[in-house]
Structure 1
């Protein structure tokens, strides 16, 4: 009996060994990158008389590709690369540089296992814009007018998401005199907006007697700022540049989407060059005018960190 038990046990062990040697094979399947990726564009208002569109600057964009699971898009190769998700493969982009301009769109189509395919396409778009005269008068007094950050009001600096669903500093809003102790240059810098009657253009002169309030390294465009360091005041001699009024690229409505949101004038101040700023020395140079009166200027600018918006409240200098 013992012999039979040992014999049976031996057969079981042998069977177990053989079964453990028969490993299952797994495959990841086809990991080919997306193919036949196409960027389709429709410049709104194109016809025989208007080959570059109706002047709205709106372009309908759709992307398709075989085996593509998702897409990212950069709308303009002339600016720093800023790839944003395009979940449905469709969007409408508003280009705001005044006149007829050519933009290079870059799309990355992602497939299984992280595979990807890149594609670019050039489009030429016309954008027309005439600023409301009341905005020019309030900002420049039709000659020259100097503004400063208004430290006497709460929320004169703040941060929130960069989108049109929340046009307010919902993440953080500074209190009265928020930066006096840590970065008083934020309040002593002056910003003089002027009309240049001879050329019909506009200029901005920035004076920074106590330095510029900014970040460092790649987080600012201001020349001479250190390559690393904390946000704060840095020695800067100021600068002068031209600026233009453009339709706000955010697409924010004039009427707020909910009771907590600010309005928008749908107009932005676009600074030229890299040596001027308003309030905060950001990388982006488009400052959207949310509210403007002769005594109050409420701006927001796309933050250096992707997805952030900085809010600024200014008043005329004494």
Structure 2
């Protein structure tokens, strides 16, 4: 105490030397005392526990709901609520530290006996946990599977990862969600080589205090002895009406300090979440929103050739508009002529698209004054699939500037912007190269005029029906005309050709590929006898 008295005397002397008649006032160091903890366990086996701490001379309180987690801060008179996500009857230890002036503190630990039974509806359970245990991996072959942005919007404005762009130690992780008849919901984080997983650079020193992380350089580290790799999870609706997942003292692969995630999308084939990071004060503070997308891990029984089972078709046997069960329309001119400087406007008018005499007819027409109309139909949201064989029997239009196409687009194109979504062109033809047909693949690095393309010659493309087909598997994409192979492309998990696509049929006019439109052009029609998909 003599040491502190000497320090205070010097400070008081300096204050008096800088003032006239005012008296110096110093804040005394007073330790918190009489710490009391009010704990309320919510009825209904919800797992919610509310702590209200009180103490004399306390400035704030740190509440440790679990022994290895970061504290939740409460001011005097403030309560904090935490949800325990493990079902069953068990005892938890909750520690409260009261802080006073000068960094003084006092603490107390209480025991609570919990009886928790959390319920997730069966449909959600089956999507996240399959038949009882389901393995998920990063959707690494698709752009946007990982990203970060401000909390003020709902997309990764600051950074969105390209396919397979991040450290492999991230992609090695597997997430396992399990459940049983007793409503026990288990979460397991399985890490890859050397038990390492990816850590945000601002979080590294929280695990390794002597580390000196480089700015914006995330690190691969083994933290399996400092977080729970076998834990629990629960999905519930929060006060804002959003569906939320928590993983107790664990992480969905990437460690950013987040243990609670908003579910943006959950289906049997996809899990996308958004988590809010409280950036450590030593690194600037504030908050960031992290975005993660996962897909089920395949077990090796992926659909592969031979594709000999018909799973979907349209034989165009009913006259009138195309079947609304199978097809919808793109209408108008799109953005920048559908991204290709095309000249036509798409309609659903019978003059542009109709089924007659057992065939679908898509007709491009000159409307005068340099205007053109045509049609584009698609199976988006009606029929989408991964892998298989597509066969289309078609007779192509003719005339300079015509650009008919039979093609497929990645079903996630609205959020995974082209070319990241991927495009498979089964057949493209341009009237300015009358008897040449093309097959192409568009993806990041190989899109637009840089697509992977092959062509073949058909002497009567516009006068005779020919069969245009693609055979698409996890290892290869093969293109045929009348069962004659002319283009083979090697597929792999790093490309966007391993997820759902949908079908598109259209006739464009002009544009980057269609080229110059013949001034004498009046109209021309692509006729399609059938579209069939086999798996």
Structure with the bigger percentage of strand: 2
Contact 2:173 2:197 in 1 (8 A): no
Contact 1:204 1:241 in 2 (8 A): yes
Aligned residue number for residue 231 of structure 1? 218
Shift in alpha-carbon separation, 1:271–1:138, aligned structure 2, 3 A: farther
Shift, 1:169, TM fit? 5.9
Q: Provide the rounded CA distance (Å) in 1 between the counterparts of 2:80 and 2:235.
A: 15
Q: Deviations for 1:175-213, whole angstroms, at most 9, x for unmatched residues? A: 250771x53554x43525365879977564636479743
Q: What TM-score does the superposition give when structure 2 sets the normalisation length? A: 0.39
Shift, 1:89, TM fit? 2.4
Aligned residue number for residue 234 of structure 2? 246
Q: Does 1:299 align with 2:273?
A: yes
Aligned residue number for residue 189 of structure 1? 172
Shift in alpha-carbon separation, 1:142–1:77, aligned structure 2, 3 A: closer
Aligned residue number for residue 91 of structure 1? 79
Q: Does 1:138 align with 2:127?
A: yes
Q: Provide the rounded CA distance (Å) in 1 between the counterparts of 2:221 and 2:230.
A: 23
Match of 2:49 among 59, 67, 85: 59
How many residues end up aligned between the 2 structures?
Answer: 260
Contact 1:219 1:304 in 2 (8 A): no
Shift in alpha-carbon separation, 1:67–1:169, aligned structure 2, 3 A: farther
Q: What TM-score does the superposition give when structure 1 sets the normalisation length? A: 0.60
Q: Provide the rounded CA distance (Å) in 1 between the counterparts of 2:76 and 2:253.
A: 37
SS at match of 1:28: coil
Aligned residue number for residue 149 of structure 1? 138
SS at match of 1:90: coil
Contact 1:60 1:93 in 2 (8 A): yes
Shift in alpha-carbon separation, 1:108–1:204, aligned structure 2, 3 A: closer
Contact 2:133 2:179 in 1 (8 A): no
Contact 2:32 2:55 in 1 (8 A): yes
Shift, 1:106, TM fit? 1.2
Higher radius of gyration, 1 or 2: 2
Aligned residue number for residue 31 of structure 2? 33
Aligned residue number for residue 3 of structure 1? none
Shift in alpha-carbon separation, 1:157–1:283, aligned structure 2, 3 A: same
Q: Provide the rounded CA distance (Å) in 1 between the counterparts of 2:128 and 2:178.
A: 10
Matched ranges for 1:75-224 at <5 A: 75-76=64-65, 78-80=67-69, 82-98=70-86, 99=88, 100-111=90-101, 114=102, 116-124=104-112, 125-142=114-131, 145-151=134-140, 152-154=142-144, 156-159=146-149, 168=154, 172-177=157-162, 180=165, 183=167, 185-186=169-170, 188-189=171-172, 191=174, 193=176, 195=178, 202=186, 204=188, 206=190, 208=192, 212-215=197-200, 217-219=204-206
Contact 1:139 1:145 in 2 (8 A): yes
Q: Provide the rounded CA distance (Å) in 2 between the counterparts of 1:236 and 1:104.
A: 23
Shift, 1:140, TM fit? 3.4
Shift, 1:40, TM fit? 2.4
- CA RMSD of the aligned region, Å? 4.5
Larger RCO of the pair (alpha carbons < 8 Å, separation 6+): 1
Shift in alpha-carbon separation, 1:101–1:303, aligned structure 2, 3 A: farther
Q: Provide the rounded CA distance (Å) in 2 between the counterparts of 1:220 and 1:157.
A: 23
Contact 2:68 2:249 in 1 (8 A): no
SS at match of 1:136: helix
Contact 1:212 1:236 in 2 (8 A): yes
SS at match of 2:125: helix
